[in-house]
Amino acid sequence: MQSQAIRKVVIVGGGTAGWMTAAAMSHFFNEMPIEICLIESDQIGTVGVGEATLPHLRYFNQTLGIDESDFMRRTQATYKLGIEFAGWGKHGDAYIHPFGDYGFPLGGVDFHQHWLAQRKLGNSYPIDDYSLGVVAARNERFSQPSQDPCSLLSTFSYAFHIDASLYAGYLQEYSVAKGVTRVEGKVVEVSQQSETGFIQSVTLASGSVIEGELFIDCSGFSALLIEKTLKSGFEDWSAWLPCNRAVAVPSAGVNKPPPYTRATAKTAGWQWEIPLQHRTGNGQVYCNEFIDDDTVLRDLLDSIDGEPLCEPNFLRFQTGKRKSSWKKNCIAIGLSAGFLEPLESTSIYLIQIAIMKLIELFPDVHCASAERNEFNRLIDLEYERVKDFLILHYHATERNDSAFWDYCRTMPIPDSLQHKMELFREQGHVVEYESGLFLKPSWLAVYLGQGLIPRGEHPCASQLPDSIVKSELDRMRRLVREAAESMPEHQAVIENLHAKINTKPAPDARMSLYGVGV
C-alpha cells in the first residue's frame, strides 16, 4: 500500500514568516522523513513595517531551544515591557499597555473593581501606578520576572524589539543546520493537479520545477499561492481599520533605548518608534483618504530623533484576512493570510499561532477537510479577536480634531466589540475567553487609558471597609514603586548581554490576605 504521509513541504517565500515556519518544522519533524524546501528570491524585498513583538515569541524561541542571550545579541534586540499610547484618547494623554497585571485581587474581587470604587472617593492614583511593568518601563528598568507565583515580580512579562531581517537570517541559519533546503529563485508559474486542484509544483524563473505535497504560502501581500492561484477570497475590514498606508525609515539609535514601544496618534493615523541596540525603527501608519503621502513623510522626518539611515519605504496594504487560510494543500502564513496593521505588534504572533496550529493538525497527502476546517476556524477566531481589540483603540477616543478621528469615533463597530464595550461601561466587566490573544489586563489598559470609565463597579467591591482597601492600594503602589526602582537599568542589562553577565532579580514581595505584603 502506498504511503499517505507527506514527504515534501515547499515554503514559498522567506522573511520572518517563511523562516519561522521552516525553523519550527525542522525542529518538530527533525526525526521524520520530511523534506522541507524554502524558495525565496533576493530580488524581492521583505516588508519590515514593525520590529516589536509580543511575549509569545519568547516561548517560540524556547521551544526551538534557542538561547535568549544569543538571540538578543544576534538580532540587536532590546527588551519590551509594553507599548506607550500617546494622544489616543485625547491630546496630551499617554498610557502604557503592559504585559502584566494591575495590582492583586482583594477579598476575592478583581483589583480594578476596588480601584474604580476608590477612584470615586478620590482615594486612588492612576491605575498605571499599580502595574510593575508600567512603572519599570517609565523608569527604564528591567529584570527577568520571578518564577514564584506569589511574588510581585511574577506579575509582569516581557517581549522584544528585534531587527526582523536579522531574526530571519538567524532562523535561516538554524533551519539549514537542521536540514532545510533553501532555493534561490522567483516563482513564475504554479501548476495544479487537474482532478483535485491541489498545487503540485512551482516553476522558477530559471526553469527549475519544484514539486511538493504540501505548500506554505509565505509570499507576503502578493499571496501568490493562496489567492492568485487558489482564489481563497478576502474579507475586507477597512471600514473598521481604515489605515491603508505606511512609511518606514530607520534612524540612528539613542544612547539609552527605553524598554517599551511608542505609538503616537497623528492627524490621520499614528507613528511608531521602536528602539533597538543599533538603531531606532520609525514609521507612520495612515489612511490616504484623509492625508497625502508628502505631508506624512514631512511630519515623520521632522519628528524622529537621530539621522535617517536610508530612504523612506512606502507600503500599501488592505486590512482584513483570507476567507480561508488553508485551502486544498496550501496554507497561508503571514501577510499572505491577512494583515491587521502594526498596531499592538500582532503580526509575528499571528505567524506563530498559524505555524503551531498547522503542526498540531499536520495532515497526510489528502489534506482532509476536517483538519482544514478546524485550522481555519481557529485562525479566524484569532483574527476576529485581534480585530476587535485594534478597533477599540481607534473608536474609544474623544478626539474630534481631524476628519480621520471623527470617522473613527463615530463609525459603526462590530456587534462583538459593541457588546464588550457596553458590558464594561456598566460595571467594569471584561469579557473573557479561553482562546485569543488579549486577556483582561490588556482590555483594561485600553479602556481606562483612553478614558472609558465604567458607570459603576461590582457590588462585592463594597464588602471590605474603604479604609482597609485604601490602605492596601497604597501599599501595593509603594511596593510596585520600590520593586521597579530596585531593578537594574535597561541599558545596563543590554550591556550585560554582551558581557555575558546575568542580572540579579529585584527584591521579592509576597501577597498578603488582601493583596501584596512585605
Cβ atoms 432, 424 nearer than 8 A: no
In angstroms, the CA 145 to CA 152 distance is 9
Per-residue cell: 178: 537542521
Q: Any alpha helices (H) in 253-344, and if so which ranges? A: 293-303
Cβ atoms 500, 493 nearer than 8 A: no
Cα dihedral value 397, 399, 405, 406, nearest 10: 100
Cβ atoms 150, 510 nearer than 8 A: yes
Cα dihedral value 164, 166, 170, 173, nearest 10: 120
In angstroms, the CA 323 to CA 384 distance is 12
Neighbours of 515 (CB within 10 A): 22
Cβ atoms 167, 64 nearer than 8 A: no
Neighbours of 123 (CB within 10 A): 16
428: region left, alpha or beta (phi > 0 left; psi from -120 to 50 alpha):
left
Question: Of the candidates 355, 366, 376, which has an alpha carbon nearest to the alpha carbon of residue 27?
Answer: 355
CA angle 501, 507, 508 (to 5 degrees): 120
Q: List the catalytic residue out of 8, 80, 357, 440.
A: 80
* DSSP per position, 474-493: HHHHHHHHHHHHHSPBHHHH
Q: Is 80 a catalytic residue?
A: yes
DSSP character for 260? Answer: S
Looking at the chain, the number of H-run helices and the number of E-run strands are 14, 23
Per-residue cell: 54: 509580543
**Which residues carry out catalysis?**
80
